[in-house]
Amino acid sequence: MTEPFGIRLRRAMDERGPLCVGIDPHASLLADWGLNDDVAGLARFTRTVVESLGETVAVFKPQSAFFERFGSRGLAVLETAVEEARERGALVLMDAKRGDIGSTMAAYAETYLRKDSPLFSDALTVSPYLGYGSLKPAVDLARESGAGLFVLALTSNPEGAEVQRAVREDGRTLAATMLGHLAAENAGAEPLGSFGAVVGATLGDLSSFDLAINGPLLAPGIGAQGATPADLPKVFGDAVRNVVPSVSRGVLRHGPDAAALRDAAARFAEEVRTALD
């Protein structure tokens, strides 16, 4: 059987450093690299990132939307990137933020979490705001496949607060409710559960939330969005060791030079290690 995602993630971060690098081929970033905003540019960009960093970073996080905008040819580039990244030993976290109900949610889960799918990924971002129970098909298939989920809980975008910090009749916020569900999913898992939360690194003091879910905390917002590795301890408190800091433009802007990409990723990883220590 495949080892659970939480075990593989902990090992990858211990061995390669606690860093997730996004693969976000914005049109502006392609232009900065001297590439056309077309499938050929997309393929060149993605291949360069994977080949440059695939043997050193712990996690890649491709943003599916930037591939989907090119239709089936863009998805073919994404399929190749997922396969090649995993062949190089990196974990792949597909940033697709899927969320639906019933058979539709099951189909999304099969797309990314079924082992024989061309887009099979080590983990997937999902949205729980049709009710946490709507994620059950993804939770079940993730367990079966040894994959993981990252559930949107406290995101870095300002608009998220109107939903995530809304208070239920029982006095808990929706975000706290989602964190509680994840803690239950991860109960008893060692050394780390496979069901994580997305918690923005730009949010400041989160001491009013219980982030001790025994699972990973994906922390976007480092680099271009303004957060730094030094901010992580004050944002995440005692849960900081389970943080998976995510950097995209802060690394990608150094391309297309492979050595510059590697240096930027290594620098961020070292800054994270220093902050965690």
Q: Which residues are catalytic?
A: 97
* Residue 40, φ and ψ in degrees, nearest 5: -65, -45
Q: Is the peptide bond before 191 cis (omega within 30 degrees of 0)?
A: yes
Q: Enumerate residues 6+ apart whose C-beta is below 8 A from 187.
A: 193, 214
> Which of 210, 175, 186 minimizes the C-alpha distance to 4?
186
Q: Which residues of 250-267 are buried (b: 16+ CB within 10 A; e: fewer)?
A: bbbebbbeeeebbebbbe
The CA angle 134-139-142, to the nearest 5 degrees, is 145
> Which of 153, 5, 30 minimizes the C-alpha distance to 86?
5
